[in-house]
Structure 1
Amino acid sequence: MVSLQREENFVVIELGSHTTKAMQDVSDVNKLPTVHIRSRAGIIKQEETSNAENTSKTKDDRMNIDEMETEDQAATEQTNGTSNAKSTDSSDQDAAGPSYVFGSAIDSADSDALEAVVDVFTNGFVNDWDVLSAFLRHIVTKELGLRITRNTSGFLFSIPALWPKSDLENLTQIAFEDLNVPSIMVVEQPLMAAYGNNGLTGTVIDMGHDTVTITPIVDSVVQNHSITQSTIAGSAVTQNLQQLLQMDDELCAQFTDKQVPLAFAEALKESGKCRLQLLPDRADDADERQEFEYDGKTYKIKQETLMQAPEVLMQPTQEAQMPLAALVRQAILGCDLDKRAALWENIHIVGGSSQFGDLQERLQMELESTVLPASNIFALSQTRDMQFHSVPEYFIGWRGYGHWAAFLGACLAAKVALTDGRHFVARSDYNDSGPSIIHTKAF
């Protein structure tokens, strides 16, 4: 049990709708996560005829993950007199249910060998718990190189906001029964983002792939009743950009079928060329073009298109969706009157979709033009200032990665909480009380 207290053994896993990040060893919090993997799974076809060889080969690849655990399993069973089929018997799992591939193996796999490619999460919630179990097992064994039957690493899971109690219990059961963890903590990503930015109170704006979530936090307590959310997020920007590109006849002519692929739009979005507009349109700049390298070819993209694509984040075209500034205001106004000033003075913008140029400046302009005048009229806690915070400068390794502040906060929390039994759930606690024990421990 002494090894549980070593920061070198601690594992932090942040579950994300688009990308899941993980790392072992939090002794140096200036290090970035070592694992970045798309949160999706390829389901292998279960055929016994023409594709039997391909399926067998894929199973062999998967069995290689646990080939060094087989001997440990036999020794563990002899010692304990029991065994955990879900966590150690890969062959039984393969025989009883589907097999999966993850990460780069999905792209390199033969399309005929895959039945489907599915997302592990949708809007931050788990689609299929069996898929999540296999996904986490892949991360632990293949990406981090841990041996499940001899797992001595305390685990901290960072999850999106608003997970119900039943989901927390399911995750706890997977951790102890499928990953064989000795101890576990489950924390909420918005709170970890505030910690990463050196804050205990504030408004966290998490701009993800599927959703934008605004979470007020007061003295390290997430105000769940005031959380606001929009489904207009990073994926919506990609779709909007694709539609705008499709309207450019000169660009479409460079593609064989005159159709702009979604993958092209996604690569362009992630290139850093898209940015939000601060000043009114200038007619003389509308037709300016920027060069973009993709798949060995050079394309010229209208400047106007690059400016309009992320606009959907600020002003959604769907009537049912509120503008981002209105969502922030609604979330803060849902909190106690005497806490609102602190929430306005501590705003944290995180998430992959927060990297668009001038996003913070644009949001600040819109909030100042609506919120500050209203506070004078209606005395909404006398808001006089609005401040945005980011990762402190002394975290040298995190410069330029402020959108990952939630992972940094999770590493900081792991250093403190996984060494104190008041915060984590140990295997003995789980054996005594079952998955519901997770609701009694927090940080």
Structure 2
Amino acid sequence: MALREENFVVLHSGSWVTRAGINVTDTNKPPSVVIRSLVGARTISQEATQQKDEDESTHPSPRDDATKSQDNIDVDAKETASEATKDDSVAPEDTPNTQTVYYCGNALTEAQQQFNQDELTLTSPIREGIVRDWGAMEALWRHVLFRELGIKRSRNASPVLMVVPTDWTKEEHERITQIFFESFNVPGLYLAEEPLMTLYGCGSVTGLIVDIGHNSTEITPIIDTQIQRHAIQSIPLAGADIDAHFLQLLKADTQLVKEYGQPLDLEFARHLKESGVCQALSGDEKESKARVTAEYNGKEFTVGAARYKAVDPLFNVDLTGKAVMNVIEAIHAAQLACKAEKRITLWESIVITGGSCQIKGLQGRIQQELEKSLAVSENFGEYQIRDVRFLKVPDYFPNLKDSIVHAGFLGAEIVAKLIFPDPRNYINKVDYNEAGPSVVHTKTF
């Protein structure tokens, strides 16, 4: 079966956000699906399920999104514990008389309004960069493919390029392969590593990827398309630490607290951070004494100088209480682990990505901190670093050139266009039927 570009799917699940898109004919576009990597689980009895089905046959309910519409009313939309292992602290274990129903996306929003906390358990399938709940993970992927992208499982003609972190194990790769072929009926699968896709999206094959995620920051050197695994640095310092520190700063802003009139929480701080209020200062930039107006949950208020200090934990770990390297030290460690003759190219090809990279001025602050720490000499040696430069999405992608956060998705789309036309480049059904999940170790990356 010839695969067509309009059916190619790119899927990337992070610990905070899942991005996906179908049709790579035009790569100059952001992902069509961007949803929280959050899943709700509810255990119901088989009797309740049977009664619900009887009621919905005459009185359809919008809640149907959570079960049968995830797979276009395919029987596979109902998840059970026998199909995937669950973390007992997240979703109650199924018994012969019970069944776990998962909710994602808009269906999750609706379920949160309809069920109390005792009935609906929320979980992030990926925590600390590792899949902790495979049942919820499969439900999230199923929702994206069949609900958001509208693919029909029974006649699935959409191969999937799955973007994965560098530290996922062989066992995790095999499990992904099994799920996509046996549960989702995909005609083809290719696993691509996230830092390499980000570098491709910036039009380069050598560079240093600084991915500031939600729970961790990973620094990955890549030389001539080869990930330098021995040099990767991963530190538990990232967006969540920015949120927590920013929240404390906001709580100390008495004028804001008075204007808002309600207790401040992490969601409040995270919303402000993502709304563009925050800014990292570098060089001769000065704080503005003027307060800026912001809005949350329909309430307007003003934010003061706290917005300039939100990113400080990335550079001063004492603010977090963690005994780890800061981002600048981790970048140096990754660089020093590479061959000396390659370091100059890496210093001139840095990519700052991840959710927090969108904070205004963050790249400039990182550049300033890096330049401070470089050796200064009037007599430059052969391998002495002269400049720190950053890569971005090329200008010939006008819709994405200012969105470095989508560089990885762009790179994955480009790779999909190259590998899926030839069955020798990806795992197809024949390969899977002959070798099983272990084929992923011979036909990927």
Q: Note whether the superposition's TM-score is higher than 0.5.
A: yes
Q: Deviation of residue 155 (structure 1)?
A: 0.8
Q: Deviation of residue 198 (structure 1)?
A: 0.4
The one-character-per-residue Cα deviations of 1:29-65 (angstroms, maximum 9, x if unpaired) are 0121100111110011425899998898646751134
What is the DSSP-based 3-state SS (H/G/I as helix, E as strand, rest coil) of the residue aligned with 1:361?
A: helix
The match for 2:242 among 237, 241, 250 is: 237
Pair 1:228-2:238 in alignment: no
- Does the 8 A contact of 1:276 with 1:358 survive in 2? yes
The one-character-per-residue Cα deviations of 1:180-207 (angstroms, maximum 9, x if unpaired) are 1111000011000000000101101111
1:152 partner letter:
A
Change (3 A) 1:305 1:51: farther
What is the DSSP-based 3-state SS (H/G/I as helix, E as strand, rest coil) of the residue aligned with 1:388?
A: coil
- Does the 8 A contact of 2:72 with 2:152 survive in 1? no
Q: 2: distance between equivalents of 1:148 and 1:124?
A: 28
- Does the 8 A contact of 1:120 with 1:128 survive in 2? yes
Report the equivalent of 1:433. 435
The match for 1:416 among 418, 425, 432 is: 418
Q: How many residues align?
A: 420
Of stretches 107-116 and 392-401 in structure 1, the one that deviates more from structure 2 is 107-116
What is the DSSP-based 3-state SS (H/G/I as helix, E as strand, rest coil) of the residue aligned with 2:374?
A: helix
Q: Deviation of residue 416 (structure 1)?
A: 0.1
What is the DSSP-based 3-state SS (H/G/I as helix, E as strand, rest coil) of the residue aligned with 1:373?
A: coil
Change (3 A) 1:98 1:108: same
Q: Deviation of residue 405 (structure 1)?
A: 0.3
- Does the 8 A contact of 2:45 with 2:98 survive in 1? no
- Does the 8 A contact of 1:273 with 1:306 survive in 2? yes
User: What TM-score results when the alignment is normalised by the length of structure 2?
Assistant: 0.87
- Does the 8 A contact of 2:72 with 2:147 survive in 1? no
- Does the 8 A contact of 2:72 with 2:146 survive in 1? no
Report the equivalent of 2:310. 309
Report the equivalent of 2:24. 26
Change (3 A) 1:347 1:230: same
Pair 1:272-2:276 in alignment: yes
Q: Deviation of residue 123 (structure 1)?
A: 2.2
- Does the 8 A contact of 1:59 with 1:99 survive in 2? no
Q: 2: distance between equivalents of 1:49 and 1:373?
A: 74
The match for 1:43 among 34, 41, 44 is: 41
The one-character-per-residue Cα deviations of 1:366-398 (angstroms, maximum 9, x if unpaired) are 111212439979x68322222111000000121
Pair 1:100-2:113 in alignment: no
The one-character-per-residue Cα deviations of 1:83-122 (angstroms, maximum 9, x if unpaired) are xx969xxxx9997641100012222222327431000111
Decide which structure has greater helix share. Answer: 1
Report the equivalent of 1:368. 371
Change (3 A) 1:230 1:427: same
Map 1:296-375 → 2, pairs under 5 A: 296-302=298-304, 304-317=305-318, 318-373=321-376
Report the equivalent of 1:403. 405
Q: 1: distance between equivalents of 2:427 and 2:95?
A: 27
Change (3 A) 1:429 1:281: closer
2:335 partner letter:
I
User: What TM-score results when the alignment is normalised by the length of structure 1?
Assistant: 0.87
The match for 1:164 among 165, 169, 178 is: 169
Mark the runs of 5 or more structure 2 residues left unpaired by the alignment.
Answer: 56-60, 85-93
Q: 1: distance between equivalents of 2:204 and 2:36?
A: 29
What is the DSSP-based 3-state SS (H/G/I as helix, E as strand, rest coil) of the residue aligned with 2:120?
A: strand
1:416 partner letter:
L
Q: 2: distance between equivalents of 1:94 and 1:331?
A: 51
Pair 1:210-2:225 in alignment: no
Q: 2: distance between equivalents of 1:233 and 1:62?
A: 34
Q: 2: distance between equivalents of 1:94 and 1:408?
A: 45
Q: Deviation of residue 421 (structure 1)?
A: 2.9
What is the DSSP-based 3-state SS (H/G/I as helix, E as strand, rest coil) of the residue aligned with 2:21?
A: strand
Q: Deviation of residue 287 (structure 1)?
A: 5.3
2:274 partner letter:
E
Map 1:50-89 → 2, pairs under 5 A: 58=63, 61-66=66-71, 69=74
Q: Deviation of residue 321 (structure 1)?
A: 1.9
The match for 1:133 among 138, 150, 156 is: 138
Q: 2: distance between equivalents of 1:8 and 1:197?
A: 23
- Does the 8 A contact of 1:213 with 1:229 survive in 2? yes
Report the equivalent of 1:391. 393
- Does the 8 A contact of 2:41 with 2:102 survive in 1? yes
Change (3 A) 1:374 1:244: farther
Of stretches 226-235 and 61-70 in structure 1, the one that deviates more from structure 2 is 61-70
Q: 1: distance between equivalents of 2:378 and 2:276?
A: 35
The one-character-per-residue Cα deviations of 1:282-331 (angstroms, maximum 9, x if unpaired) are 6xx575321112222211111x2001111112222234121211111100
Q: 2: distance between equivalents of 1:321 and 1:234?
A: 15
Change (3 A) 1:250 1:53: farther
Q: 2: distance between equivalents of 1:374 and 1:343?
A: 20
The match for 1:10 among 8, 11, 29 is: 8
